């Protein structure tokens, strides 16, 4: 009898919660499997709400909706919602160094000088600030800069082949900049470059990561194509700045990733405006809404527009993750934080759409009777 009553109460709670819809996935949280560990004691209801990313921008909103839904039941007088997250993806099986990395995301641009590495670093720390496990692979072998921007200490060779990435404020980092500057990476070419990136991917203990951001070398040539084929990318973020040719550049990058079947998750527009150091107000440099128009013209979502603030920029160039330092409330830091949240949502949507596809496979053929 008591078990019957509990079952009935659980069913009522789930039915009440099924009106709560995840705005990104367009599906209710019950059928998405987000409601877990439901426990009912008398008139008290408790459960975990397991989101697809700790960076979920609407998590507080979802929690409130859940509380209201449960309290709408006439017998329920208390509710406790615990927010948890499980970044879905997982490269499954495999024993390779990336087997526990849920999502590899390319951060790319058609050309240099648009703040691609800066964007990679700030997105990474913004994602990490939400509780996600994050890594950065600086694949810009010829012009590595991530090591400067994070003031991380280089990784220490562990002797037996596999190495540990550097770690800085909880973010794992591998960059050519850590290794032998005497190698003059600018002089390396083609196959040698891809071989080094391959090593970065396979010979480091990346461990369990929700997001591994790959800072692509600028451009849309052979190296970028080779890199995109080396591993299975969840998607790509394109970085641009407001310029006459930006749309052309973004289109070029979009078509490269399209050809390689790598979904473009969105565009981050840097230097979208200028934060006046005197009055703190923002001035658009190239007209309002340029980033949104550009993203729409290129047929990809706009993840964020980041203004430029000379003082903050300097701190960033000196290796400060903005969200962890004194500039955490600056418009720049806030813009990168919002872009990171939008990126996390785009990845969750991508994951839901991708369905059960294998991320990678590799097997040997066996002799068998025909």
Partner 1 sequence: MSEQERELGVVRIWQEDAVHLGVVWTDGKQSSFDTRLLRQLCPCAVCEADRQAGRFVVGDDVVPLRVQSVGNYAMKIVFSDGHDTGIFEYAWLHERG
* Minimum CB distance to partner 1 smaller for 3 or for 368: 368
Question: If phi over 0 gives left and psi between -120 and 50 gives alpha, with beta otherwise, what is residue 319?
Answer: left
Provide, rounded to whole angstroms, the least separation between the CB of residue 57 and partner 1: 10
* Minimum CB distance to partner 1 smaller for 9 or for 349: 349
Provide, rounded to whole angstroms, the least separation between the CB of residue 265 and partner 1: 8
Buried b (16+ CB within 10 A) or exposed e, 111-144: beebbbbbbbbbbbbbbbbbebbbbbbbbbbeeb
* Minimum CB distance to partner 1 smaller for 170 or for 301: 301
Give the residue among 43, 47, 6, 5 at the shortest CA–CA distance from 29: 47
Provide, rounded to whole angstroms, the least separation between the CB of residue 198 and partner 1: 13
Which positions ≥6 away from 168 have C-beta within 8 Å? 150, 151, 152, 153
* Minimum CB distance to partner 1 smaller for 149 or for 233: 233
Residue 254 near residue 221 (C-beta atoms within 8 A): no
Provide, rounded to whole angstroms, the least separation between the CB of residue 312 and partner 1: 27
* Minimum CB distance to partner 1 smaller for 135 or for 263: 263
Provide, rounded to whole angstroms, the least separation between the CB of residue 231 and partner 1: 7
* Minimum CB distance to partner 1 smaller for 266 or for 273: 266
Which positions ≥6 away from 150 have C-beta within 8 Å? 121, 136, 168, 169, 171, 173, 319, 321
Provide, rounded to whole angstroms, the least separation between the CB of residue 255 and partner 1: 14
Provide, rounded to whole angstroms, the least separation between the CB of residue 29 and partner 1: 17
Buried b (16+ CB within 10 A) or exposed e, 300-328: bbbbbbbbbbeebbebbeeebbbbebebe
* Minimum CB distance to partner 1 smaller for 76 or for 298: 298
Question: If phi over 0 gives left and psi between -120 and 50 gives alpha, with beta otherwise, what is residue 134?
Answer: beta
Residues that bind partner 1 (CB under 8 A): 24, 228-233, 235, 260-263, 265, 300-301, 342, 345-346, 349-350, 353-370
């Amino acid at each position: 009898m008591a078990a019957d009553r509990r079952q009935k109460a659980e069913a009522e709670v789930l039915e009440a919660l099924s009106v709560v819809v995840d705005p990104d996935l367009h599906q209710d949280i019950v059928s998405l499997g987000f409601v877990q560990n439901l426990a009912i004691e008398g008139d008290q209801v408790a459960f975990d709400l397991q989101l697809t990313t700790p960076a979920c921008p609407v998590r507080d909103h979802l929690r409130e909706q859940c509380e209201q839904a449960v309290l709408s039941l006439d017998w329920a007088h208390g509710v406790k919602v615990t927010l948890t997250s499980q970044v879905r993806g997982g490269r499954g099986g495999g024993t390779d160094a990336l087997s526990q990395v849920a999502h590899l995301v390319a951060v790319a641009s058609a050309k240099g000088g648009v703040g691609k590495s800066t964007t990679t670093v700030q997105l990474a720390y913004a994602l990490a600030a939400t509780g996600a496990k994050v890594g950065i692979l600086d694949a810009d072998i010829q012009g590595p800069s991530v090591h400067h921007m994070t003031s991380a200490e280089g990784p220490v060779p562990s002797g037996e082949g596999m190495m540990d990435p550097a770690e800085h404020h909880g973010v794992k980092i591998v960059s050519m900049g850590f290794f032998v500057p005497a190698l003059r990476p600018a002089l390396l070419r083609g196959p040698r470059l891809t071989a080094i990136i391959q090593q970065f991917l396979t010979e480091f203990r990346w461990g369990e990561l929700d997001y591994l951001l790959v800072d692509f070398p600028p451009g849309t040539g052979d190296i970028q194509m080779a890199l995109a084929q080396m591993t299975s990318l969840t998607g790509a973020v394109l970085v641009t700045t407001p310029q006459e040719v930006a749309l052309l550049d973004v289109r070029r990058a979009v078509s490269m990733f399209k050809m390689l079947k790598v979904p473009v998750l969105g565009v981050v527009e840097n230097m979208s405006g200028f934060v006046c150091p005197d009055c703190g107000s923002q001035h658009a440099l190239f007209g309002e809404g340029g980033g949104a128009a550009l993203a729409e013209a290129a047929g990809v979502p706009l993840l964020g527009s980041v203004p430029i603030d000379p003082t903050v920029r300097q701190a960033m160039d000196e290796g400060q993750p903005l969200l962890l330092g004194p500039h955490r409330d600056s418009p720049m830091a806030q813009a990168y934080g919002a872009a990171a949240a939008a990126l996390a949502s785009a990845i969750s949507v991508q994951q839901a759409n991708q369905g059960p596809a294998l991320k990678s496979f590799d097997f040997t053929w066996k002799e068998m009777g025909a």
